[in-house]
Amino acid sequence: MKLKVKLYEIETGKPIIVLNEEDMKELGVHIGDRIKICKPENTCMVTAVIDASTELVGLGEIGVFEDVYRELDVKAGDIVDVRATKRPQSIEFIKKKLHGKHLHGTEIKQIIQDVVDNNLSDIELTALVVSSYINGYDMDETVSLTKAMVETGEQINFGENTVDKHCIGGVAGNRTTMLIVPILTAAGLTMPKTSSRAITSPAGTADTMEVLAEVEFSIQKLKDIAKDTGGFIVWGGSVNLAPADDKIIKVEYPLSIDPEGQVLASVMSKKKSVNAQNLVIDIPVGKGSKIEDMHTASELARKFIEVGHRLEINTKCLITDGSSPIGAGIGPALEARDVLMCLEGTGPTDLMNKSLDLSAVLLELSGKAVPGEGRSLAEEILESGKAQTQMKTIIEAQKGNPDITAAEIVIGPHQAQVEAKIEGKVKFIDNKIISALARLAGCPKDHTAGVDLKVAVGDEVDKGDPLFTVWAAHPGKLEDAVKKAKQTNPIQIGGLILEEVV
């Protein structure tokens, strides 16, 4: 069928079009079916019918959105040939998984290829996520899924001595990456760190690094930066590593499901894509974190290590204390300030110690330190100022101000202080509530917003002592955060949870 192109300057994120209802009947297609669009020069692409309309497009017209007309290079009024086409075979494989059956490597590869090529509708992609959540992936499927994600995306070989780390998340603050990268690259290792932006947390590593430098670069620029500095800290969404993972995560997020096999493949595919030979996984455990019991953490660690072994990535997992925030600042600017203070030698001791522990593992795995001496080498690099010098080099390479100090980080300007109503020992700081307060204050969009903790678990406080300060860029957001602080119990003192906003 020959149809005339009608353009809509709307980006949809996937190839979709609109047909007139009468034309759909003649083609024998329904909403959600696929069609093939061909230009006279025989350039073709497969897309999906998203809707039928007698108002948006007339008889003999095809409504084309930005994603399609950019790929096909068509303009308004062009004539294209439209034909019905079959559903992707991978839909049958998804149905197979829905029935709890094992998927072979070739079947998983086809599914992931169709995900990357946008050949699956939202409903079909959701079925894939739900099937993996209900029935899970065994180890063979997980490894096949990981390899398929790697093979369908960009791969960057940064050479020998490439190391990486990942944290499962769920702990407020915890900005260890921004200390580990300068420590390890100062030791002569390569650490091309791609990190995430916040989704449900007050800040991701990319949001925090963005306070100090740019985080979006082309692959060639990243190669140049790594060659000059040994590493970088950038937003992973700016490169095309394991693109299927990003598409699947977009479906998982609104469903609030996180299938274990998908988590393993998500993490390990991105490490394999940068040719990491040595990897440390931080698995925080504790009340309020993503994983609350040691058994679950140990099982997850075992699986990470096995996947790493089968991908030829030397992997070690550290099960760490995730029962309370790490560092004092919660929010991009406050967390960046913590990092700079640590590099200057005055930062939060829990953030420094955890960063040193994780650095020690990678120094030993990579052979830069003999077993048992990685921690002392990491301490020497940090305390001598080598890590600070290296971070300045990285910041400059990423187009930031290398001379910025912790004292120059802009916070606020609006603030409210929360004080202890009783005296006693700090028993517990709730990660989830503290993070919620920071987000209400404006994080992560407002980099200067957040929560600045004044106490840590185990501290003795008197009545009236400050527990934390809420910072916000806008008075209304500060008011929202203060209201939440009054209604919730983020810090437990002496068995009771009592605080007052003043």
Same-domain check for residues 391 and 416: no
Sequence-ordered list of residues with C-beta below 8 angstroms from that of 121, at least 6 positions apart, any chain: 32, 48
70: confidence class by pLDDT, cuts 50, 70, 90: confident
Residue 255 lies in a domain: no
Question: What CATH number is associated with residue 460?
Answer: 3.90.1170.30
Nearest Cα neighbor of 478 from 445, 447, 444, 438 is 438
Same-domain check for residues 94 and 215: no
Where among 121, 136, 151 does a domain terminate? 136
Question: What CATH number is associated with residue 385?
Answer: 3.40.1030.10
| pLDDT above 70 for 423 | yes
Q: Which residue has the higher pLDDT, 320 or 15?
A: 320
Residue 456 lies in a domain: yes
| pLDDT above 80 for 492 | yes
Position 498 scores a pLDDT of 37
**Bridge-partner residues for 453, per DSSP?**
468
495: confidence class by pLDDT, cuts 50, 70, 90: low
Q: Which residue has the higher pLDDT, 13 or 437?
A: 437
Position 437 scores a pLDDT of 97
Same-domain check for residues 360 and 216: yes
Position 219 scores a pLDDT of 92
Question: What CATH number is associated with residue 66?
Answer: 2.40.40.20
**Residue 326 exposure: Cα atoms within 13 Å on the Cβ side:** 26
* Residues 266-281 as b or e (16 or more Cβ within 10 Å = b): bbbbbbbbbbbbbbbb
For range 292-319, the mean pLDDT: 97
Same-domain check for residues 360 and 474: no
Same-domain check for residues 200 and 331: yes
| pLDDT above 80 for 243 | yes
Which element (helix H / strand E) includes 165? Answer: strand 163-167
Same-domain check for residues 266 and 348: yes
Question: What CATH number is associated with residue 95?
Answer: 1.20.970.10
Is the pTM higher than 0.85? The answer reads yes
Residue 225 lies in a domain: yes
Where among 346, 372, 397 does a domain terminate? 397
Residue 297 lies in a domain: yes
Encode pLDDT of 271-285 as tens digits: 999 999 999 999 999
Burial class (CB in 10 A: 0-12, 13-18, 19+), 448: buried
Same-domain check for residues 80 and 94: no
% the chain with pLDDT above 70: 98
Same-domain check for residues 75 and 97: no
Residue 204 lies in a domain: yes
What residue type is assigned to position 358 of the chain? L
Residue 336 lies in a domain: yes
Where among 23, 51, 84 does a domain terminate? 84
Residue 446 lies in a domain: yes
Tally of structural domains, the chain: 4
CA distance 429 to 418: 13
Same-domain check for residues 331 and 198: yes
Encode pLDDT of 247-277 as tens digits: 898 888 788 788 999 999 999 999 999 999 9
Q: Render 439-474 in DSSP notation, one character per residue.
A: HHTTTTTSTT-EEEE---TT-EE-TT-EEEEEEESS
Same-domain check for residues 37 and 97: no
In angstroms, how far is the first alpha carbon of the chain from the final one?
A: 71
499: confidence class by pLDDT, cuts 50, 70, 90: very low
Range of the domain at 107: 90-136
Same-domain check for residues 349 and 417: no
Rg (CA), the chain: 25
Is residue 224 part of the annotated active site? The answer reads no
Encode pLDDT of 215-240 as tens digits: 999 999 999 999 999 999 999 888 88
Q: What is the number of other CB atoms lying within 10 angstroms of the CB of residue 412?
A: 18
Position 502 scores a pLDDT of 33
Position 117 scores a pLDDT of 87
CA distance 416 to 413: 10
Position 186 scores a pLDDT of 98
CA distance 212 to 340: 10
For range 5-23, the mean pLDDT: 87
Q: What is the mean pLDDT of the chain?
A: 92
Residue 38 phi, psi dihedral angles, 5° rounding: -125, 135
Distance of CA 311 to the CA centre of its chain: 21
Reply yes or no: is the peptide bond before residue 413 cis, omega within 30 of 0.
yes
Q: Which residue has the tokens 């469903």?
A: 255
Position 228 scores a pLDDT of 96
Strand order in the sheet with 499-501: 329-330, 450-453, 466-472, 414-420, 499-501
Same-domain check for residues 419 and 371: no
For range 414-432, the mean pLDDT: 94
Residue 152 lies in a domain: no
| pLDDT above 70 for 444 | yes
Nearest Cα neighbor of 271 from 131, 153, 127 is 153
> How many residues in the chain?
502
Nearest Cα neighbor of 191 from 202, 183, 199, 201 is 183
Spot the catalytic one: 117, 140, 224, 258: 258
Nearest Cα neighbor of 179 from 429, 348, 373 is 348
Residue 470 phi, psi dihedral angles, 5° rounding: -100, 130
% the chain with pLDDT above 90: 76
